[in-house]
Structure 1
Amino acid sequence: MSRSVQFIFAEDANKIFDCFTRIFGIRIVFFSYDGRELNAGSNLPRCRYCNMLRESFGFEKKCHTLDRKQQILSGKRGKLVAYECHGNMTEAVLPVYVVKKLIGYIMIGQFRTSDSFIRPIEASHKSRKDLNCLRKAYFETPYYSQQMVENILKLFSLLVELIVSRHLINIKSQTSISKLIAYIDEHPEETLSLEEAANLIFTSISTVSHLFKKAAGMSFKKYQITKKFQKAEELLVSDSENSIASVSKQVGISDPFYFSRLYKKYRGYAPKQHKRNYRSD
């Protein structure tokens, strides 16, 4: 999946993100599969404590590496990963899949589970003034008991499950639909199901069904049948020895009688008539 992929965030996805942030005061963010931050609930920035560690105390690379490592781990496991960052704050991440394909991650953080400030070892060389500022920023972050954290993580998991099941975060598939159309054009001998088509371009069945008709001007099923008939007509007229049975097999329909019935239903005449019409012309 290239960096040019565009993501679609349904209005309900944004509402879920915004409500979660407003209720708990915690950031909830969607990251692309390659680790780019794309959408945050209520556009809430990183907390002051986190920014101080990253920008003033030189933790930027360490924090980014740790977050990325946990994202990849959650993708491999296919489940929630909760962890403590370098600043002793709790964060959690869940992978987001579309048709069994990983498209990104949703993360929450940062919040504390301790009511006492534990100075990061790497920050020990800083002045007392800097450390006091860091301590103050630490206590500005949301605090939750371990029991409350468990409930937050359960709710977070349920919300991500809802987002995934309802396809509230998806990828823009217009370009993918064009690729699907090209694939069908090149492989009239194949008969794809909607599920197979969706898997082929990493999107949902409903997205294929909706966008395909918009792009091709006809339904997914009708387009496949039309391409089979076009190929069959080419075969029928290119070689007088080609039988209906032979041609139907070459376009992926094993039963020649079914092929003939289907052809007549869509074309209004039998395939043999097409062959005769071509000869008379």
Structure 2
Amino acid sequence: MFTAFELFLSDEVQSLIDHFAAVLDLRVTFFSADGRELRRGRHMRNSDYCAMVQQEIGTLKECLSMDTAKRAEAVAKRGIIDYRCHAGLREAIAPVFIHDKLAGFLMIGQFRTGDEVPGCMLSRCTSAEQRERLEKAFHDLPEFNAEKLEDMLGLFKMLIDYIVVRELAVLQGDRLRHEIDRYLELHCTEDIRLPEMARKLGRSVSTISQFLRRNYQTSFKELLIERRLEKAEEFWRANPEATVGEAAFAAGFTDQFYFSRVFRKRRGIPPGEYRDRKRRESQPDKRDN
């Protein structure tokens, strides 16, 4: 089964966030639950301003420390944290919980809400030329007024909520497929019917039928036939001298001729030929003796 971590990084989620960030010219960063940076949004390198602040002025440690503190604060709040970083930019970070388990974080940032470069940053510049470049890099960043910031954060929250709902649906769907496969593994040799399985799994017949058709383009009947054919193959591996009829009945087929017809259609060869081929493969080559 997929983990919450793998689903959090699914292509659909990344594409959704990438489009959101591209439209608003924001930087988006994905973090794992333990705070490791996983990836940035599509084509979104570090801004010139942040690159200068972190590398030339030497505040990378401060950036990382603030990121860590804000992630912890967001987890404690179980919601989005919006704040101003030490370099004067606005950022927001949101924890993503799936089945009440922290899957990771999304962080948006590198935008400004004012025109003034923080004095603490300017005071660290070592030359007028560096100061001028820092100011230019700052003013090149996208700017949000208070109203637009509120709207952007509202949209960000809606995206997070959508991701959680989508991931929960995927996780639940994956769990249902696991339950179906497990049930067939245990009972495929019996005379089982879809209504009986649905009742055992606590689902409706229509829910399971629609789930299999929509997500796997198959049906309960097709899955049952396939699992029974696999059982027949397993039976022959353990009993290479068994007849076609014995393998058919051991796998849950009540009609040997139906079994032969289905086996040939799905495997491309008659069941007897399959058995003989596997028997030859299992025997040691006499030329090696």
- TM-score tier, shorter chain, comes to 0.5 to 0.7
Alpha carbons of structure 1 residues 209 and 142: separation in structure 2 relative to 1, 3 Å? same
User: CA deviation digits over 1:228-259, x for unaligned, max 9?
Assistant: xxxxxxxxxxxxxxxxxxxxxxxxxxxxxxxx
Percentage of pairs with the same residue? 27
Q: Name the structure 2 match of 1:60.
A: 60
Size of the aligned set, in residue pairs, is 188
Are the equivalent residues in 2 in contact too, given 1:13–1:169 (CA < 8 A)?
A: no
- Could you say which structure has the higher helix fraction? 2
Q: Name the structure 1 match of 2:23.
A: 23
| 1:106 matched to 2:106 | yes
Which ranges of 4 or more aligned residues in structure 1 deviate by more than 6 Å? 219-222
Q: Which runs of 5+ in 1 are unaligned?
A: 171-203, 226-266, 268-281
Are the equivalent residues in 2 in contact too, given 1:213–1:219 (CA < 8 A)?
A: no
Measure the CA separation in 2 of the matches of 1:162 and 1:5. 15
3-state SS in 1 of match to 2:34: coil
- Choose from 152, 163, 172 the match for 1:205: 172
Are the equivalent residues in 2 in contact too, given 1:83–1:90 (CA < 8 A)?
A: yes
Task: Determine which structure has more spread, i.e. the larger CA radius of gyration.
Answer: 2
Are the equivalent residues in 2 in contact too, given 1:209–1:219 (CA < 8 A)?
A: no
The one-letter amino acid paired with 1:138 is F
3-state SS in 1 of match to 2:152: helix
Alpha carbons of structure 1 residues 215 and 32: separation in structure 2 relative to 1, 3 Å? farther
Deviation at 1:211, TM superposition (A): 4.4
Q: Tell me the TM-score normalised to structure 2 length.
A: 0.58
3-state SS in 1 of match to 2:175: helix
The one-letter amino acid paired with 1:7 is E
Alpha carbons of structure 1 residues 59 and 214: separation in structure 2 relative to 1, 3 Å? farther
Are the equivalent residues in 1 in contact too, given 2:99–2:168 (CA < 8 A)?
A: no
The one-letter amino acid paired with 1:53 is V
Q: Name the structure 1 match of 2:76.
A: 76
The one-letter amino acid paired with 1:207 is D
The one-letter amino acid paired with 2:25 is G
Deviation at 1:47, TM superposition (A): 0.8
Tell me: higher relative CO, structure 1 or 2? Use CA pairs within 8 A at least 6 residues apart: 1
Q: Name the structure 2 match of 1:7.
A: 6
Deviation at 1:167, TM superposition (A): 0.4
Deviation at 1:122, TM superposition (A): 7.4
